[in-house]
Amino acid sequence: MTGTTQALHDLPAHALLRAYRDRSLSPVEVMHDLLAHVQRWEPALHATYLLRPEAALARARESEARWLRGEPAGLLDGVPATVKDNIATRGDPTPVGTAAMPQVAAPLDAPPAARLREAGAILFAKTTMPDYGMLSSGLSSLHGNTFNPWDPDKTPGGSSAGAGAAAAAGYGPLHVGTDIGGSIRLPAGWCGIFGLKPSLGRVPIDPPYTGRCAGPMTRSVADAALMMQVLSLPDARDSMGLPHQEIAWHSFDMDPAQVRGLRIGLLLDAGCGLPLQPRVRAVVEQAAAWLESAGAHIERIEPWLSRDMLDGLDHFWRMRSHVEIQSLTDAQRRVILPFIREWADSAAPLTATQLFVASQQSHLLRTATVRATAAYDYVLSPVAPITAFPAHLPSPTNDPLRPLEHIAFTVPYNMSEQPAASVPCGHDGQLPIGVQIAGRRFDDLGVLRLSRVLEQLRPPQPAWPQPVQSGQDRAQTASATPA
C-alpha cells in the first residue's frame, strides 16, 4: 500500500476508512505513525492508561488483512480509538482513576468498548481520569497528572481528562468519555475539540447511573456522528437505555441556510457558580451572532439553576462517595487524593433530612431545565465560565467545600437527560473556548447538525498543538503521585 505525506495521526476517521477502502493507506502504516506520535507527546501529557503498542500493531495487521480481502469487520475497521479508564475492557482492571481500587480484571467489555471492537476499531489504549471521576481536572492518585496540549501548565479538564488531551494532541481520531456533570464537555471545551453528551440512555453504558452518559470526543462533528452509528447500538445491560432507534447519523452535515427560523435561547448567566470571564462571554455572543446572521432567532434566557440545586447535587454526591470510601481499608483510604477525601468526609455530619432534601434537587433541576428550555429549538451557552485553570489544582476554586462552581452551565442537562455538545469556537490567547449547544431530549442528531453549522460559520481554527520539547521534566511531574 502506498503512503501519504500527510501526518497519518491527524487524519479523521472517515478519511482513514476511505483510504483503507481504496488501498492508499494501511491500518499498519497508520498505527505505526500514531504510536510514534504518542511516544513523542506522552511524556508531556500523560493521557494514556494501558497503552499497548504490540497488541495494537497485531490488531492493525489483522485489519489490514481484512481490507486486502475486501472484508472489513465493521464500520470502523482499523481506525484507532481509545476509551476512558472507567469504561471496562475485558481482562483489564477498571480503577476509575484511583490507586485505592484493587486491580481486578473486568470479565467483559462495557457496552461502548464492545461496540467499538465489534465495529473493528483498534482500542490501542485507555485514557486517564481523576479519582472516582469526581474532579474536572487531570489529577489522579493512580495516573499522576494529565496536561493540556495547548498549554501544559493548564489542566485538560475532566473527568475525561486523558480523552480530551489525547484528541487535541492527535492520538488518533476517536475517543470515548463519560459525563455526569460536564465530564465530556468541559475537557472538550478546554482542549478545543468536539464532545457530545448524548440524551441519557442513547449510548448504552454499564453500570448506568442518574445523569451518567458515554459519548464521543473527536476533532470534528463528522467523526462524532460516525461514532454514534456504533455507540448507539443497543445493549441490554443498560437498564436506563433508550429503545433502539434508527437515526440517520450520516445526515449530520447541515447547511447553515437551514437554521433560518430556528428559535435559539442564549444563556449567559448560569444562576450561580463562578462569574463568566469576559473573553468566554464574547466567544459565546459571537457564536450567537453567526447563527443570527444565518437566520436563526436568538433570545436571551434568564437563569434557572439555583444555589440550592447545585449544593444539593454536591451534597448528595459527597455522601455517595463518603459511603464508598468508608467501605475501604485504612490503607486504601490513605492513597486517595486528599481533596477527594476531604470533600467526601465533609458529608459525614449530614442528617437524614438534609440528605433527603439534597437528593431531591436533581429532580427539581430536571423539571426546571425542561421548563426553561422547552420554548426553544436549542440553547446556546458557555461550556464553562472560565478557560482552563492551572494543572496542579484539583478544581478552579481549590476548595473541597466549593467544588462545583464551574459546572453550572453543563450539569443541568445531565439531570434533564437532554443532549448537549461542546463546539470549539474561539481562543483566549492559546487556550481554546468551547460553546455549548443543548437540544430537546432525544434530539441528539439535531445537536450534531447545529454543531456542524457552527463548524462552518466559525473562522479557521488554529493549527493543532505539537509535542513540547520539555518532555523529561513533564514526565517527572506526571509520574509523581499528587499530594
Q: What are φ and ψ of residue 324, in 5° steps?
A: -65, -45
The answer for residues whose C-beta is within 8 angstroms of residue 171's C-beta and 6 or more apart is: 9, 34, 37, 38, 41, 47, 48, 80, 82, 125
Q: In the annotation, is 197 catalytic?
A: no
* 63 labelled catalytic: no
Q: Of residues 63, 183, 321, 381, which has the active-site annotation? A: 183
Contact 380, 297 (CB under 8 A): no
Which of 26, 63, 137, 159 is an active site residue?
159
Rounded CA-CA distance 305/452 in Å is: 28
SS3 179: strand
Say which of 84, 126, 154, 197 is annotated catalytic: 84
Alpha helices in 276-409 (DSSP H): 278-293, 307-326, 330-335, 338-345, 352-373
Query: Is residue 137 annotated as a catalytic residue, yes or no?
Result: no
Half-sphere exposure of residue 11: CA atoms within 13 angstroms, side-chain side: 25
Q: In this structure, how many other beta carbons lie within 10 angstroms of the beta carbon of residue 483?
A: 8
Q: What angle do CA 286, 288, 292 make, to 5 degrees?
A: 115
Ramachandran sector of residue 131 (left: φ over 0; alpha: ψ -120 to 50; beta: rest): beta
- Is the bond preceding 207 in cis, omega lying within 30 degrees of 0? yes
Burial class (CB in 10 A: 0-12, 13-18, 19+), 285: middle
Residue found by looking up cell 462545583 in the block: 404
Distance CA 448, CA 436 (A): 11
Cell of 83: 476509551
Q: What are phi and psi of 457, to 5 degrees?
A: -85, -25
> Mind giving me the DSSP string for 447-482?
HHHHHHHHHHHSPPPPPPP---S-HHHHHHHHHSPP
DSSP string, 395-452: SSS--TTS--TT-TTTHHHHHHT--EEEEEEEEETTEEEEEEEEESTT-HHHHHHHHH
Alpha carbon dihedral 65, 84, 233, 383, in 10-degree steps, equals -130
Q: Which residues contact 245 (CB under 8 A, 6 or more apart)?
A: 232
* Per-residue DSSP letter, 121: -
> Which positions are catalytic?
84, 159, 183
